[in-house]
Structure 1
Amino acid sequence: MRRRNESAGSEPTAAPASGTETGAETAAAPGRTQRGIQSVEVGGRLLRALADARAPLAPSDLAASGEIPSSQAHAYLVSLTRLGLIKRDALSGRYEPGPLALRLGLLHLAQQPALREAVPRAAALAQALNCSVALCIAGPQGPTIVRYEHASLPLHVNLHVGTVMSLPATSTGRVFCAFLAPEALRAMWATQTAQPVWRGMPHAAHNAQATPTVPAAPDAAFAATLESIRARGYERGIDAPSPGVSSVCVPVLGARRELSLTLTAIGASGALDVRPNGAVVRALCDAAAEIAAAAFPSTST
């Protein structure tokens, strides 16, 4: 007999999703099949539904999106939570990606050439410039920190790996707006318009009232700002969005001039050199050029 080890003591059953294999067999090669574990694949549907939603989901909505009856989805949610693939917010009761999901995502990202080249340079920049340095990539909800090198002196901002940056309110977000492909930017903008995101204020992630939603669409003045960013190749944030904290952000562009990631230096206003030709701007631009040349050799030719 097959031993069962589900969190509820028995293995839930669910009708397979339309268009998927029934049972637990998937095609391995013409004329051959490989047997898998149906319960794992059912749990995977819940994970995929959460990823597709790009936002925390209530248990009933998550079950519906995964095409699993709510009564049967509960046991899967318990097990996925125990594994750390998802977590449930204690206040809202909604599920969101968990720490193990983040670690797996970061492991995948670590294999990307640009990020692999950027990580040691970010650490060196933080030490040389005496400031924090964040590496951000395009996430479903916006520019997302995937590496954060802390400054020697603490900053009064709640930044960490996984933080999503506001598109219009942060220097990092504006660089993404200036260099990201239009279709990807539209998706991010729509996501941030629909729900509040971090704007750089202490503990804002836990206070929706402190985090107003972004405008429905960029205006002409914002478009002009983006043109200026493209022309100079970097963006600054001075005492904004957090008073007393400033930043400088530069893009790392790929072989086809597509945005790969950003380098952002963050420090106390007055201590961080944000002059257009200052040490921080020069160091970040040089580092971005080195990362691009190493990760995308064709960019140096």
Structure 2
Amino acid sequence: MMRMNNPTLHPAATNGGTDDDGDARSPRGIQSIEVGGQLLKALVRAGSALALKDLARAAGMTPAKAHPYLVSFGKLGLVEQDAVSGRYGLGPLALQLGLIGLQQVDPVRLAVAQLPALAAQLGCTVSAAVWGPMGPIIVHVEHGPTPVHVAMRHGTPASLRHTGTGKVFAAFAPPQAVAEALAREGEAAALDDPAFAAELQDIRRERLSRVRDELLPGISAMAVPVFDGFGRLALALAAIGPSALLDLGVGSPQAQALRACGEQLSRRLGYTGQGIA
């Protein structure tokens, strides 16, 4: 019979959380839990059930070392073993934890917390928007170091056809809802416009919308989607600034920083789909 070793504490646990010089160290933890947790992470990365040898290899351990962890995780419901194939997958408790975690996360709260640093990094005004009763609506604006004379504030609707934020929703929101919102904007035929349809396809591929001098001369914007754990569009992040200062190139530092922020928030919301590392 295989037997787990007693849980071991990190070294910090033996000296009160400080080193020999009295410097603060990271909080103590149970090392065996962290080691076993690599198996759960490996299952999440795989996205499917794995045989013992494959799961152990993905977690960086031998099958003999992995097995007792899996036995304990199975008793807790964190993993379960298929009776026919013998493969290990996430168990009912892991699924319940995931669902509860998704319910507890507030996408807007997470996004708003990121906006001040994002505005400073990009050097321009940034915003977050969600889908409201009538279409996209801006819920928070963080002004950057460069003033932008645009009537954009909390509660401002975003045009689906002519704004970076709106185009993200036009590309990723449910088609029927998008069509109805476009009709309310007086753009009922927009989705039949080949140029607009091609633009939306580019946005879906690049995960980035770009608008230059479209609503106001000299003002440009770009926006990225943020997805939730179910793969649905949760909100859009946008950057707006003088066209001379906002580089709309797909590979520009500003575009990469904005996209990275959107992907980080998507991961926080549980999204693991295409485009998220």
Q: TM (normalized to structure 1)?
A: 0.53
Identity %: 37
Amino acid in the other structure paired with 1:115: V
Structure 2 counterpart of 1:142: 135
Question: Which residue number in structure 2 is paired with residue 255 of structure 1?
Answer: 229
CA distances 1:24-82 after superposition (whole Å, capped 9, x unpaired): xxxxxxxxxxxxxxxxxxxxxxxxxxxxxxxxxxxxxxxxxxxxxxxxxxxxxxxxxxx
CA distance in 2, matches of 1:257, 1:297: 6
Q: Is the 8 A contact 1:132 1:148 kept in 2?
A: yes
Residue aligning to 1:37: none
Structure 2 residue 91 is the aligned partner of structure 1 residue 117? no
1:163 aligns with one of 151, 156, 159? 156
Look up the match of 2:202. Answer: 228
Name the CA distance, whole Å, in 1 between partners of 2:106 and 2:112.
10
Aligned partner of 1:289 in structure 2 is 263
2:161 and 2:190 in contact (8 A); partners too:
no
Does 2:258 align with 1:265? no
Offset at residue 297 of structure 1 (A): 5.7
For residues 215 and 270 of structure 2, the distance between their equivalents in structure 1, rounded to whole angstroms, comes to: 33
Cα deviation for residue 215 of structure 1 reads: 4.6
Partner of 2:90: none
Partner SS, residue 185 of structure 2: helix
- Is 1:241 aligned with 2:234? no
Structure 2 counterparts to residues 42-57 of structure 1, below 5 A: none
CA distance in 1, matches of 2:271, 2:146: 36
Secondary structure of the residue that 1:163 maps to in structure 2? coil
Q: Whole-Å Cα distance in 2 between the matches of residues 179 and 173 of structure 1?
A: 10
| Paired amino acid for 1:249 | A
Equivalent in 132, 144, 147 of residue 154 of structure 1:
147
Q: Does 1:182 align with 2:175?
A: yes
Q: Please tell me the residue identity of whatever aligns with 2:120.
A: Q
- The number of residue pairs the alignment matches comes to 171
Q: 1:220: how far off?
A: 2.2
> Residue 142 of structure 1 contacts residue 192 of structure 1 at CA under 8 Å; is this kept in 2?
no
CA distance in 2 between counterparts of 1:146 and 1:235 reads: 19
Classify the secondary structure of the residue corresponding to 1:168. coil
2:11: which partner in 1? none
Question: Residues of 2 paired with 1:268 and 1:112: CA distance?
Answer: 34
- What secondary structure sits across from 2:117 in the alignment? helix
- 8 Å contact from structure 1 (residues 133, 266) kept in 2: yes
CA distance in 2, matches of 1:225, 1:270: 22
* CA distance in 1 between partners of 2:120 and 2:259 (Å): 16
Structure 1 residue 261, shift from structure 2 partner: 0.3
Q: C-alpha separation between the residues in 2 aligned to 1:140 and 1:297?
A: 24
| Gaps in structure 1 of 5+ consecutive residues | 1-110, 194-213
